[in-house]
Each structure stands twice: as C-alpha cells, then as structure tokens.
Amino acid sequence: MKQVILNIPESKFKFFMELVKNLGFVKTSEVSIPEEHKQEVRKRIAASDRNPERLIDWDNVKNDFKLD
C-alpha cells in the first residue's frame, strides 16, 4: 500500500476530509507511546541540556552513514 502525505490549506481541510471520507480512503491510527519511553526521552533531553558539548552536530556525522 502506498502512503501519501499532503499539505492542505486550513480553509480547505474540512472539505478535503469530507471528500476523502466519501471515497472511503480514511484510515486513522493512533500510536500509543509507553510512559517508559517518554521518561527515557525526557532523561536524554535533560542530559543533553546539562552537557550540550557531548552532542555531535548532524552535519558532521551524516556522511558516516551509508544511506541507500
């Protein structure tokens, strides 16, 4: 199945969603993020805030990855 991401102007969004619903293409999904994961992210953000020198800028490391 293909996935399409669109940017819809706010003024046209309601109309667009009604059109899509009428065509039967609406599929909604909500992702539940476990509290443990949220806590881990908060912990890592706090560590980065305390010691920003430990971070490496993405522009400096992205070429180390082989992205095919």
Predicted structure pTM score: 0.46
pLDDT score for 63: 81
pLDDT at 68 over 70: no
CA torsion through residues 47, 53, 54, 59, sign = positive
Q: Please, are residues 38 and 46 in contact by the beta-carbon 8 Å criterion?
A: no
Q: At which residue do the structure tokens 């476990």 appear?
A: 34
For residue 61, name the pLDDT band (cuts at 50, 70, 90). confident
Which of 25, 18, 32, 21 is CA-nearest to residue 2?
25
For residue 3, name the pLDDT band (cuts at 50, 70, 90). confident
Q: At which residue do the structure tokens 């522009």 appear?
A: 59
Residues 7-34 have pLDDT tens digits of 999 999 999 988 888 888 766 777 899 9
DSSP state, residue 54 = G
Domain boundaries, the chain: 10-60
